[in-house]
Amino acid sequence: MNVDKILSEMTLEEKAAICSGKNFWQTKGFERPGIPMINLCDGPHGLRKQVGEADHLGLNESIKAICFPAGSAIASSFDEAVAWKVGETLGAECQAENVAVSLGPAVNIKRSPLCGRNFEYLSEDPYLAGKIGVAMVKGLQSQDVLPCVKHYAANNQETLRMTGDSVVDERTLHELYLSVFETIVKEAKPRSIMTAYNRINGSSCSENKELLTDILRDKWGFDGATVTDWGAVKDPVEGVRAGLDLVMPGGNDSYAKKIIAAVKDGTLPETDLDKSVRNVLNLIAYAVSHKKENAVFDRDADYRIAAELAKECAVLLKNDGGLLPLKKDAKAAFIGEFAEAPRYQGSGSSHVNSAKVVAAKDAAAGLSVTYARGYRSETDKTDDALLKEAVEAAKNADIAVLFVGLPDEFETEGADRETMDMPNKQNELIAAVAAVQQNTVVVLHNGSPVAMPWIDKVPAVLEMYLAGDGCGEATVALLYGDANPSGKLAETFPVRLADTPAYLNFPGERGIVEYREGVFVGYRYYDKKEIDVLFPFGHGLSYTAFTYSDIRLDKNEMDDTDTLTVTATVKNTGNRYGKEVVQLYVRDVESTPNRPIRELKAFAKVALDAGESKDVEFKLGKRAFAYYETRIHDFAVETGEFIIEVGASSRDIRLRAPVTVRSTTVIPVIFTRHSTVGDIAAHPKGQAFMASMQGQMKTPPSQGEENVMGSGTSKMIEKMRTEMPLSGLASFMGLTDEQLDGMVAMLNTEI
């Protein structure tokens, strides 16, 4: 396809038309200028290709496909190779099914554990979400399938999801919510981005020039197509002006009509429309020229991949006394409906019509396992007969394994949760079983953190998340030690909902949600507030043990333009093979902006045989030390000491080493009437000015002197002196307004 030629031959009507879809899942095709149509499908952890009736909520059936672990599980692998493999396999399926654009990954930050779509999202941490997102995108792209990274941006709840306004300050937006997209755009260069339903600070994400052009294209260098979430656009003309390219779903010619009218009446320059058309044509041209003709979708092979990947994602939360792994000949009672019918995926647009799901009960065939249903998912009432049967089964076994978690209606796209609680009947079942069987293991099937009122009563908890079609097989392999757990939490498990950062401001009021916790989301919040958590970010156990030693920095001082190399040694001190996720956090010892105690800036998953040790090397550049500085609308480092922390979780730091980083960024300062003596004195040129003013100024008296402000402690007087604004000084000096303005002008000229 020759995009330039086609564009030059298109009529205004054709151009306007191609900026919205043909129907639910296709772009428009035109025979005359030679534009084929392409297919777009969900994503993000399995193929949802609808051939019959279409919808964006996963209601109607799609073709049989493979459900891979959901985003929450993929991120818990802390393994870019796992994320890449999901992308690669899904990409190959898309090629076989003639799907050009895969709607994912979904990378929104988990601001509150209540967000109904957290199961699809990756993490509370932007670094981790960014890196896992990059790997998923690259995996899809390895098959020449186009990812559509979603939902851009600040789309962190489902309440009023199509109209809500996320009110976020600039620093928080860039440090947390945009930086995930920034990393993916810069490192993986995806060819499309999906704009979110919500507004940010009053402006709809699909019609927001700052978001779609100034930041995405001009700042980050994105050169692909922006696609609306399904039904997100309010005003397509405003969208095109802002940098929106494709409105989905289509089938409605009112968008095109509005665009044509706006071009004709001169309110929309045709050159703006051409930009959008070019981006859509480029997307189509890429897809068409990279279509693999002989691709096959091997469902059995992909199921195997899904089951293997699920083993890498599970997190062993607790394992007192080494209860796990179970001996193969142990008499185990599998209890709970999820052992028979696992909850392995969430509801909504990501819902896959699974070709094959293996339940734990079936995967355990051949082992010494009995089964009791324990509860009925469809009701929240305790079924006494089932409870009794479960307690008997637990008593008669060596070990009870409870398969519990959240049923579909507890977490789903389209609705937020109201509590972190599991169904009462399940909590009651756990308590009843644990009361008669001290060897009780809880296996969780959920997409986001749950409260665990029974945690002290059970020795072992295995978090499977929503592990995809291979959920049961992976669970059994992990329980019996054929696989060794190696996942770590990509989000904090709080003790209770009231402890969470957005507790007072989620989901907002009257459609407006204020992100008042600022950058303090997830562990950034719990660490700063010194709040105890159930399980911290980065936590996860193994059947073996690891020690950390010998942290080395290649320099102790550096400019922020340099790269720091950090090396540490990790040893497997147990007696079996295992993988450890080594995490590197950076801590700014002292800073003017209010910063988190520590922030994740690197990680590596290391495979070690029993007794083996390996050096792990990390490279840290400027961004590892930077915060977002609103005065320059960019990231900056504040000169000073930082501590490099290396550990097994955000609350299990094993090694520390200091480094001094010098900033190379000059932050321009503009003085005003409100600038204080302290501000001025802190600036080199301001100091010269202060010196030149000495004598002329009757500054507030220094220590011990009596004056208009009365006497005070030296600390108080010093504070009053440094916080005195220029306007205050002027009044002490008896200056007029004009003279004050002259002083401000002089100060700024000095600079």
Active site residues: 229
Q: Nearest approach, Cβ of 179 to ligand BGC (angstroms)?
A: 20
Q: Which is nearer to ligand BGC, 198 or 583 (CB)?
A: 198
Q: Which is nearer to ligand BGC, 150 or 445 (CB)?
A: 150
Is residue 158 near ligand BGC by the rule CB under 6 A? no
174/602 Cα distance (integer angstroms)? 19
Burial group, residue 694, by CB count within 10 angstroms (0-12, 13-18, 19+): exposed
Q: Which is nearer to ligand BGC, 56 or 361 (CB)?
A: 56
Pair of tokens at residue 162: 């199509």
Q: Which is nearer to ligand BGC, 42 or 491 (CB)?
A: 42
* Interior/surface letters 15-50, b for 16+ CB within 10 angstroms, e for the rest: bbbbbbbbebbbbbeeeebebbbbebbbbbbbbbbb
Neighbours of 488 (CB within 10 A): 29
103/90 Cα distance (integer angstroms)? 11
495/453 Cα distance (integer angstroms)? 9
Is residue 310 near ligand BGC by the rule CB under 6 A? no
625/632 Cα distance (integer angstroms)? 16
Q: Nearest approach, Cβ of 120 to ligand BGC (angstroms)?
A: 8
Neighbours of 578 (CB within 10 A): 20
Enter the DSSP assignment of 646: E
Query: Collapsing DSSP states into helix, strand and coil, what is residue 434?
Result: helix
Enter the DSSP assignment of 556: S
Say if CB 121 and CB 350 are below 8 A apart: no
* Sheet containing 225-228, strands listed edge to edge, beginning at the edge strand earlier in sequence: 40-42, 101-103, 146-152, 192-195, 225-228
167/516 Cα distance (integer angstroms)? 8
Neighbours of 557 (CB within 10 A): 12
Query: Collapsing DSSP states into helix, strand and coil, what is residue 548?
Result: strand
Whose CA is closest to 479, among 333, 649, 648, 306?
A: 333
Q: Which is nearer to ligand BGC, 227 or 600 (CB)?
A: 227
Give the CA distances from residue 98 to residues 191, 227, 263, in Å, rounded to whole numbers and listed in that order: 17, 19, 34
Q: Nearest approach, Cβ of 392 to ligand BGC (angstroms)?
A: 45
Q: Nearest approach, Cβ of 56 to ligand BGC (angstroms)?
A: 3
First to last CA, the chain: 55
Sign of the torsion formed by the C-alpha atoms of 56, 60, 63 and 65: positive
Taking CB under 6 A as the criterion, the residue among 68, 127, 230, 493 binding ligand BGC is 230
Neighbours of 189 (CB within 10 A): 16
Strand 203-204 to strand 199-200: parallel, antiparallel, or no bridges (unpaired)?
antiparallel
Strand 599-608 to strand 578-588: parallel, antiparallel, or no bridges (unpaired)?
antiparallel
Q: Which is nearer to ligand BGC, 43 or 459 (CB)?
A: 43
Taking CB under 6 A as the criterion, the residue among 14, 175, 229, 491 binding ligand BGC is 229
Enter the DSSP assignment of 199: E
Say if CB 448 and CB 119 are below 8 A apart: yes
Residues in the chain: 751
Neighbours of 259 (CB within 10 A): 27
Is residue 311 near ligand BGC by the rule CB under 6 A? no
Is residue 19 near ligand BGC by the rule CB under 6 A? no
745/729 Cα distance (integer angstroms)? 15
Is residue 416 near ligand BGC by the rule CB under 6 A? no
Q: Nearest approach, Cβ of 192 to ligand BGC (angstroms)?
A: 12
Q: Nearest approach, Cβ of 323 to ligand BGC (angstroms)?
A: 40
Q: Nearest approach, Cβ of 152 to ligand BGC (angstroms)?
A: 11
Q: Nearest approach, Cβ of 280 to ligand BGC (angstroms)?
A: 18
Q: Which is nearer to ligand BGC, 60 or 370 (CB)?
A: 60
Is residue 349 near ligand BGC by the rule CB under 6 A? yes
Is residue 45 near ligand BGC by the rule CB under 6 A? no
Q: Report the chain's C-alpha Rg in angstroms.
A: 29
Strand 399-405 to strand 332-335: parallel, antiparallel, or no bridges (unpaired)?
parallel
- In the chain, what are the helix, strand and coil shares in percent, each to the nearest 5? 35, 20, 45
Give the CA distances from residue 578 to residues 135, 574, 602, 711, in Å, rounded to whole numbers and listed in that order: 22, 9, 20, 67
Helices (H) then strands (E): counts for the chain: 22, 29
Q: Which is nearer to ligand BGC, 99 or 608 (CB)?
A: 99
711/704 Cα distance (integer angstroms)? 7
Site string for ligand BGC, 171-190 (x = CB under 6 A): --------------------
Q: Which is nearer to ligand BGC, 42 or 125 (CB)?
A: 42
Taking CB under 6 A as the criterion, the residue among 16, 26, 42, 497 binding ligand BGC is 42
Q: Nearest approach, Cβ of 83 to ligand BGC (angstroms)?
A: 18
Site string for ligand BGC, 46-85 (x = CB under 6 A): ----------x-----------------------------
687's enclosing H/E stretch is helix 684-693
Enter the DSSP assignment of 590: S
Q: Which is nearer to ligand BGC, 46 or 578 (CB)?
A: 46
Say if CB 636 and CB 592 are below 8 A apart: no
Q: Which is nearer to ligand BGC, 349 or 440 (CB)?
A: 349
Taking CB under 6 A as the criterion, the residue among 103, 109, 247, 397 binding ligand BGC is 103
Q: Nearest approach, Cβ of 347 to ligand BGC (angstroms)?
A: 12
Q: Nearest approach, Cβ of 229 to ligand BGC (angstroms)?
A: 5
Is residue 411 near ligand BGC by the rule CB under 6 A? no
Taking CB under 6 A as the criterion, the residue among 110, 150, 351, 683 binding ligand BGC is 150
Is residue 527 near ligand BGC by the rule CB under 6 A? no
Amino acid of residue 721:
R
Q: Which is nearer to ligand BGC, 194 or 478 (CB)?
A: 194
Please name the residues in contact with 218: beta carbons below 8 A apart, sequence gap of 6 or more: none
> How many residues interact with ligand BGC (rule CB under 6 A)?
8
Q: Which is nearer to ligand BGC, 48 or 445 (CB)?
A: 48
Q: Nearest approach, Cβ of 205 to ligand BGC (angstroms)?
A: 12
Q: Nearest approach, Cβ of 456 to ligand BGC (angstroms)?
A: 39
Pair of tokens at residue 440: 């009780």
Residues that bind ligand BGC (CB under 6 A): 42-43, 56, 103, 150, 229-230, 349
